[in-house]
Structure 1
Amino acid sequence: MDWILLRGLTREQAHWGDFPRRLQASFPSHRFHAVDLPGTGVHFREASPDTIAGIREAVRRQVLHIPKPFSLLGLSMGGMVALDWAQHASTGEIQNLVLINASSGFSPPWQRVRPASWPRIFKLISCRELFDRERDILRLTSNREVPLGLAKQWYRIQRQRPVSRRNALNQLAAATRFRPGAKRPMTDALLLASRGDRLVHWKCSSALEQRWQWTLKLHPDAGHDLVLDEPEWILNQLAEWLIR
């Protein structure tokens, strides 16, 4: 089975760290493809659409070579793109859907982005010192101690493939306006969220669970970047869900 991995706002495939390798080790018969959203990673010179639908179509064009059906795993805004994709997929295109700390228009604005986070988000967008910005993103999205080496690694990523302020604002606009369609796209999907998420309330995932009777698993204290904070927990939840 092929999987497409989608990261979040202004993040690219390098921000997955060693998670794709750990996925491959845990599921050796599967193949995992980390794909960059427009305006990030290998596509950092491109303009990002300002709608989730536009981002979804740009990503879809990148994976035409991957045999169908494939599965989607999306973190944060990547989860929005994955959900929108599942709702607009052709018959038999998507086999599994995993959303990590995703939100949607089914939840109120103060849950989609916690009010205490907005000043920090605007500060991050306006910050011109790249190292400070990357370190502060880590401090906002992770509930674990941020190693200096990791902050330096994320700094190098942005130095090499910088996300423009315009693309950051376009992605933010796309994320804040996203509202899924009413129809359930999959019989079941795996929703992973953290009660300790200081950016997006875990009830955004709960809203999807209640609306469509999907599977929700909650981590007690990890941050918004659940992949960074608790990768082994994600692997365990995914393994249990896949054998359902």
Structure 2
Amino acid sequence: MRKTLNELENSLMDTLTRVYHVWKTVLDMLKDRGYVTNDLDHQTTLDEFRERVGVGADGVDRGKLTIKAVREGSADDGIIVLFAKDDKMKTEVFRSYAEEVQGQECKRAIVVYRGQLSSVIVQFVNSSEQKVKWELLLEDELIVNVTKHVLVPEHIKLTDEEKQAVLKKYQVKESQLPRLLKSDPIAKYYGFERGDVIKIIRKSETAGRYVTYRAVF
């Protein structure tokens, strides 16, 4: 059954609003990871976003959402975020992304996708031979910024020196620390890697705050 004009407009607006929130979450995520982002992008309204990306019969042009940033204080440590255009990302499309990234000054690349991924793409991303560190983030998981939930405590990745100091202080091995799975939404948001030790600061009505440590697995 064909959609009426009003139904089509409502559907496109729903998609626009959804993608807008995803895009804003990605901007927050990059900033929280220590990358330099544009303040004007963070302040973009939904109407401004619509004018920027355009909405046609096929929906939002995700090709216009690409974000590039560099880490604060390190101009050669760049990142690029690509938004998959189709509901299902084909292998050849991902290969085109890989070729595009090779020509960029970046150490990390993120693809925000929908639907399922082929085993070829997953294998490529998990390959240790890649010069660029790839991440695949599902669009559905970015509609809401998980770190802004009132119950989510502060997460801070320790430097190697801080990590060794904590292990020495508590006389434990990394494997003896409580675990934070790499697949955890918080770990994915911050881009934590296996081997990282995370300092978690929770508020306490009695102690003011208390600190725990977790190792990423």
Length-normalised TM-score, structure 1: 0.31
The structure richer in helix per residue is: 1
Q: Which has the larger radius of gyration?
A: 2
Length-normalised TM-score, structure 2: 0.34
